[in-house]
Amino acid sequence: MSNLIRILKAEHLNIAQILSEVMLYGAHTPDGRERLIAAKESFLTHLKREDEELYPVLQEAAQNDEKLAETVDLFMKDIQAVSEKALAFFDKYENAAQSHQFEADFTEFLSLLTQRIRNEEQVIYEHYDQLIKS
């Protein structure tokens, strides 16, 4: 496994840990809001790293591989949708008082993020590691 993929997977674990703390404290508490802001910052840092280090390598390789090009395009479109939903979630709750909708929104957001992480780790990260090995 490449160093970049190790870092990205560690960031996934960190984001998941912070989000579990948000749920533990609740977004309506000072500690919960602090953890929510930390999760948002970690999420944005992770996206930036992928944009700067992961996807350029994949996009370059995709110029000569139609199947990889389709996969990369699909993942890039998906992360745009996931990012928009994630940022909307963070924006809604980082300054909000207690909301009866938080638990349902959090569960939906966590499910979306968990699926994305699983897909990245099983598909796109594997493609990256194969390219780096060649």
Q: What angle do CA 116, 50, 128 make, to 5 degrees?
A: 85
The single residue listed with the structure tokens 């699909």 is: 74
Structure tokens at 91: 């924006």
41 falls in which pLDDT band (50, 70, 90)? Answer: very high
Give the pLDDT mean for 17-23.
Answer: 93
114 falls in which pLDDT band (50, 70, 90)? Answer: very high
pTM higher than 0.75 for the full model?
yes
Give the pLDDT mean for 48-72.
Answer: 96
Q: Express each pLDDT in 78-113 by its tens digit.
A: 999 999 999 999 988 887 666 778 888 999 999 999
Q: Which has the closest alpha carbon to 2: 48, 49, 40? A: 49
Q: Which has the closest alpha carbon to 4: 44, 58, 40, 76? A: 58
DSSP state at residue 39: H
> What is the chain's mean pLDDT, rounded?
93
Distance CA 111, CA 107 (A): 6
Q: Which domain holds residue 85?
A: 3-133
Whether the CB-CB separation of 89 and 81 falls below 8 Å is answered with no
* Domains of the chain: total: 1
